[in-house]
Amino acid sequence: MTSTALSLIISSIITSVQKEISLLDAIVVVYVLLLPVLASAFGLSEIMSPSSGKNAMRPVHSPLLIVANWTRSAFTYSFALYVWISAPTFGSGPPECNAATRLIFFGASLPALGSGRWLNLAIWGILTLLFLWRAIKGWSTIFVAFRALFSTAGMETLLKPKHPPKNEVHREMVYRKDFRTGQESRSNRLFRPRQIFHELLLGMASQILSWAPSGTGRWYRSYGKAILITLLAAWAIIMTELELLLNKLESNVNGEWGFGQILPLVLTISPLFSLYEYLLSRHSSGRKSKSRMLRFSIRNARGLQRPETELDSYPPEYIALLKDEQLERIRSPSAFAVITVGDREMYTTFEIDNAHDPDWEESFDMKVDDLSVVVIRVFDMKCIDMGWPSFIGLTTIHPFTVLPHPDSTSAKDSAVSEVDLDAIPLVKEDLTVPNMSVSVSISTDTREPPSLPTTVPFLSGPQETRVERRVTLVKFGKRKVGRKKETTTTVYKMAEF
């Protein structure tokens, strides 16, 4: 739908500059343009919706989608402002026609060159300022996405965090109490703050949709956005019909459907056919397996080598003059791993500076089914910073192929399977890379949130302590029903790895 909205707005801009449409046509186009824009925003909001958990995966973003979404928003605001700024002389008709045009806004008929014009200038002016603020705030993401369209180095820059990660570790202690049963529980875990990466810039429609699903119920999460997008689309359709109905069109206007009317309609609804074809292809591939949540731990890597180093262009005589410590520091990578599931979701580890054998020891939960393929790619941050090829190697895993069968004596719902996969060879350019490997663990036990090892090197602390309480309590006489949750988060300074 992003491409449909972009095509429609570009066509509208070209025809308006050539004065081939009237002011009434432009108003209708703005209303009609809301349909693909809202549909695109709905799809993007679903893509960008964060997974639950502090160590959750994030969606994979295409640089083309980032650029197209930003360009669509820029063209939309530019066209709307152009229409209302030049409204007195806009379009192909004489000024008298523009003066007779009415703007229908929530059922009110306003003069298009009077209060209707000033109302739209105020609304679109505010929206444009908000868009400019978002664009300036996210200029680095736009720049990196444009660069990624034309270079592999730019594409790899998208893998870097927007800002260096904080050298902090958080200890989270959670106390829960059920007032009905009196049962109490406590949990304790360590985690590092999530890294912030380059992602899609939210448009206004996407921003509204991101505000909407604040509920926690399953029904609300599933249908809240769909209901909101339906109401907004219905409003746009009603305003369009009222705009055409309450404005008196010329009697000699040809109202018959022809190529010029059918083609835009088909182009507008064509993405629905693609969605239908996608759903058919999924069902035709066989019975769909039920997704399950697994705990994935990327533990370490061994024998990693940099794809390129600063010493590659120097003669051996110069290299022999350097100390062993200097050579080791230059040749050792600052490695990080990118774990993707079906090229749709990804998790990026923290980088470990100057280490051939990095120990990440990071865990996260991922939702997979029988057909899911987990790909682990290892990169060198030093090469990314230098603009050089940074890919070290990759390996693939089919989670349910390597997981052992649960213990037959365990209950089906509570059965736990886990496996440690040690020294999985890395592959590069269709060849196994000698002496380079990664080690991972997979488990079906996701009852507790992921946690760092207890041997995290604290440097100082606590730096800060935050307490959050949530209480739901209903009293029926002497009977209490409800729950209490108290989360205490303590921030420590962490020593450099």
Going through 179-263 in order, the beta strands assigned E by DSSP cover: 184-191
**Structural domain includes residue 374:** yes
* Pair 203, 329 in one domain: no
* Pair 249, 314 in one domain: no
**Structural domain includes residue 225:** yes
pLDDT digits (tens, 9 = 90+) for 447-485: 888 887 766 666 666 888 899 998 888 887 778 888 889
Q: Report the half-sphere exposure of 184 (CA within 13 A, side-chain side).
A: 3
pLDDT of residue 397: 93
Kindly tell me if the per-residue pLDDT of 216 is higher than 50.
no
- Residue-averaged pLDDT of the chain: 79
Q: Name the residue among 28, 26, 29, 33 with its Cα closest to residue 4.
A: 33
Kindly tell me if the per-residue pLDDT of 246 is higher than 50.
yes
pLDDT of residue 41: 61
97: exposed, middle or buried (C-beta count within 10 Å: 0-12, 13-18, 19+)? Answer: middle
Confidence of residue 426 (pLDDT cuts 50, 70, 90): very high
Token pair recorded at residue 50: 């964060």
pLDDT of residue 495: 66
What is the average per-residue pLDDT within 290-319? 89
Place of tokens 């739901």: 472
* Pair 303, 424 in one domain: yes
pLDDT of residue 249: 56
* Phi, psi angles (nearest 5°) of residue 287: -65, 130
**Structural domain includes residue 459:** no
Place of tokens 């549909």: 39
* Pair 231, 297 in one domain: no
* Pair 297, 210 in one domain: no
pLDDT of residue 52: 44
* Pair 233, 369 in one domain: no
**Structural domain includes residue 146:** yes
**Structural domain includes residue 488:** no
**Structural domain includes residue 185:** no
Q: Which domain holds residue 430?
A: 292-407+414-443
Q: Are strands 335-341 and 458-476 parallel, antiparallel or unpaired?
A: unpaired
Distance CA 336, CA 352 (A): 7
| From 220-229, 343-352, 375-384, the region with the lowest mean pLDDT | 220-229
pLDDT digits (tens, 9 = 90+) for 132-161: 888 888 888 888 888 888 887 778 888 888
Kindly tell me if the per-residue pLDDT of 101 is higher than 80.
yes
Kindly tell me if the per-residue pLDDT of 247 is higher than 50.
yes
pLDDT of residue 254: 52
What is the average per-residue pLDDT within 275-304? 75
pLDDT of residue 17: 81
| From 53-57, 293-297, 321-325, 483-487, the region with the lowest mean pLDDT | 53-57
Kindly tell me if the per-residue pLDDT of 441 is higher than 50.
yes
CB atoms within 10 A of CB 406: 15
Distance CA 440, CA 296 (A): 7
CB atoms within 10 A of CB 475: 10
pLDDT of residue 403: 83
User: Where would I find the H helices in 285-355?
Assistant: 316-319, 324-331
pLDDT of residue 467: 92
* Phi, psi angles (nearest 5°) of residue 159: -80, -15
* Pair 240, 331 in one domain: no
* Pair 222, 360 in one domain: no
Token pair recorded at residue 194: 């999530």
Kindly tell me if the per-residue pLDDT of 215 is higher than 50.
no
Distance CA 374, CA 347 (A): 11
Distance CA 403, CA 292 (A): 13
Tell me the sheet residues that pair with 174. Answer: 187, 487
Kindly tell me if the per-residue pLDDT of 102 is higher than 50.
yes
Distance CA 82, CA 88 (A): 11
* Pair 232, 337 in one domain: no
* Pair 104, 239 in one domain: yes
Q: pLDDT above 70 covers what percent of the chain?
A: 76
State how many domains the chain has.
2
Determine contact, residues 11/79, Cβ cutoff 8 Å.
Answer: no
Kindly tell me if the per-residue pLDDT of 54 is higher than 60.
no
pLDDT of residue 49: 53
Task: Identify the residue with better confidence: 200 or 492.
Answer: 492
**Structural domain includes residue 394:** yes
Contacts of 168 (CB under 8 A, 6+ apart): 192, 193, 463, 491, 492, 493, 494
Task: Identify the residue with better confidence: 230 or 271.
Answer: 230
**Structural domain includes residue 455:** no
| From 5-9, 287-291, 366-370, 378-382, the region with the lowest mean pLDDT | 287-291
pLDDT of residue 272: 61
Q: What is the largest distance, in Å, between two alpha-carbon atoms of the chain?
A: 91
* Pair 239, 299 in one domain: no
* Domain containing residue 395: CATH number: 2.60.40.150
* Pair 99, 17 in one domain: yes
